Amino acid sequence: MKHPCLAMLGVLALIVTLVGCDSEQAQPVKIGFIVAGERPTYLRSAQLAVDEINERGGLFGTPVELVSLVNTEALLPLSVQTAEDMILKDRVVALIGPNRSTHAVEVGSLAQRYDVPMVTTSASNPRVTNAGDFVFMASVTDTFQGRVMAQFASADLSVRTVALLTLSDDVYTEGISEFFAANFSRLGGRVVANVFYDDGTTDFTGQLRDIAALQPDALFISGFIREIGAITRQARAIPLRNSAGEETLFLGTDTWDSDILLANEDAELEGSFFTTHFSLDTDEPTARAFIESYQAAYGALPSGGDAVNYDAVRLLYEAIERAGGLDPEGIREQLQATENYVGATRIANYDANRHPAKSSVILTIENGEKEFFKQIDPPMRGHVVINDEGTDAGDRWGADAYELDAATITDDMLTITASYGGGCRTHQFILVTSAEFMESNPVQLSVSIAHNANDDLCRRRVTEDYDFDLTPVKMMYQDSYGEHTGTIILRLDNAPEPGLVYMFAP
């Protein structure tokens, strides 16, 4: 009878001794790590997490080792080929990254094909997890990030008109511009221009002159750090102003959170606002500990992206610890079960699409430095119930009064804005759907929202957003019609629009 270890190693075992086999078992637990673009510090923060894990004894007494790629030129084929090499040759137990959504979408397909757990870092487009249930995000999604900036621009900055300048043919840049524009329009703002530029562009004066003629209050720039400096400098040189003659505000995204951009003397960033993952001004104890450890190790302060890279490693580590071993399915299950993770950032939980519920931070540039401005917490999570008896919630789930101010669908998420009297107790909102589709083209589904105020006697006017994951509705459609792609018209009682269009694909 063969030794179990020799059987596991197959043909290769014929040339190793039993001692050699034991030595193979004692090798470090390998984790693949991929960075795309000019983000040299991301590897530092991931390595910091690994060092802390090893200081605690590693995983089950075995040290952890990062097998890494820093793909500075952001070459997509290189990220994909390296990820496959990490899986097949290095035998990594999981993948961390990539940080760019375009890369993460492709690498995620590999992870799913080989059943390798994967936690992306600052990749934030919701499509990142479409490959399947082995792919998770550590970053806030662009669905939320785009909404946050749109609401902030409208409510806090009184922006009424905005122009978009977007890098074309990139999953992240095009996606977040789309989410921002949709939310800004829903809030009553006007998108006066939606202009694209190609990768490698250095002269933006043509696009910016066209935008300047429209005198927008703000310019939303969705690109990477190598372009943002030139765009802002050329916009100020034109100059870009609103209808009142004031300088047009620059609005950005988490790609702006970079010391390389801040150190660019050609960039004109003063007074700009952008969304990111965390602030150095945080008073959260675990975040402060991360900042201090990073600074002690590298003599510099971390960015929001650094925080997410650190957290991605920690999320994986904690999932493996809870799983009690390196079985991929066990790790996947424990990643999905994550609740109340506290690290450099916080994650309340994961939804059915493996998107985290977490906060977004808005920073501004003052005197050439990043300054904290505001933190926006994720929307409340509502429950979805498929009711065989129809959509009349009645007293079963709650019939307390509320006003439905807005309702939109983005990807698999229905978001409502609801106003009600209260403020002293936690209110519950439940989306109740019929169990039967109305046959039409496309099909329709009756839905209603139940509100349980939990006997809240306070009368302050409260307005909150609630998210409802429509995945159960999608699955009901797929079971009914045997098709993975479809369109459903949701007939939501009291909605501002007569029908909400829900389109989905695998």
Q: 390 pLDDT band (50/70/90 cuts)?
A: low
Secondary structure (3-state) at 123:
coil
- What is the model's pLDDT at position 397? 84
- What is the model's pLDDT at position 381? 80
What is the rounded CA–CA span in Å between residue 307 and residue 316? 14
From the list 358, 402, 382, the residue with the least C-alpha distance to 470 is: 382
The answer to whether the CB of 297 falls within 8 A of the CB of 289 is: no
* Candidate from 83-97, 119-133, 264-278, 397-411 with smallest mean pLDDT: 397-411
- What is the model's pLDDT at position 113? 98
DSSP 77-95: HHHHHHHHHHHHTS--SEE
From the list 369, 313, 371, the residue with the least C-alpha distance to 345 is: 313
Residue 20 DSSP one-character state: H
Q: 293 pLDDT band (50/70/90 cuts)?
A: very high
Residues 451-501 pLDDT 10s: 999 999 888 888 888 889 898 999 999 999 999 899 999 998 877 676 899
The angle at the Cα of 144, spanning 283 to 43, to the nearest 5 degrees, equals 60
364's enclosing H/E stretch is: strand 360-366
9's enclosing H/E stretch is: helix 4-9
The answer to whether the CB of 3 falls within 8 A of the CB of 18 is: yes
Tell me the helix, strand and coil percentages in the chain, rounded to 5.
Answer: 35, 30, 35
What topology does CATH give the domain 142-271?
Answer: Rossmann fold (3.40.50)
State yes or no: pLDDT of 20 exceeds 70: no
Fold agreement between 17-140+283-345 and 142-271: yes
The pTM (predicted TM-score) of the whole model is: 0.80
State yes or no: pLDDT of 426 exceeds 70: yes
DSSP 228-295: HHHHHHHHHHTT-B-TTSPBPEEEE-GGG--HHHHT-TT---TT-EEEES--TT---HHHHHHHHHHH
Give alpha helix (H) positions in 96-170.
101-113, 142-151
State yes or no: pLDDT of 177 exceeds 70: yes
Beta bridge partners of 218: 162, 249
State yes or no: pLDDT of 5 exceeds 80: no
Question: What average pLDDT does the segment 237-256 reach?
Answer: 97
The answer to whether the CB of 506 falls within 8 A of the CB of 484 is: yes
- For the chain, the C-alpha Rg in angstroms (whole number) is 24
What is the rounded CA–CA span in Å between residue 349 and residue 364? 28
Task: Decide if domain 380-504 falls under CATH 3.50.50.60.
Answer: no
Just give the CATH number of 17-140+283-345.
3.40.50.2300
From the list 166, 138, 178, 369, the residue with the least C-alpha distance to 257 is: 369
- Quote the mean pLDDT of the chain: 90
State yes or no: pLDDT of 106 exceeds 90: yes
Strand 360-366 and strand 369-376: the pairing is antiparallel
Q: In 10 A of CB 296, how many CB atoms?
A: 9
The angle at the Cα of 57, spanning 52 to 58, to the nearest 5 degrees, equals 70
Secondary structure (3-state) at 370:
strand
The answer to whether the CB of 428 falls within 8 A of the CB of 481 is: no
State yes or no: pLDDT of 7 exceeds 50: no
Question: What average pLDDT does the segment 179-205 reach?
Answer: 95
Question: What average pLDDT does the segment 295-301 reach?
Answer: 96
**So where are the chain's domains?**
17-140+283-345, 142-271, 380-504
- What is the model's pLDDT at position 26? 62
The residue type of 89 is K
Q: What percent of the chain has pLDDT over 90?
A: 75
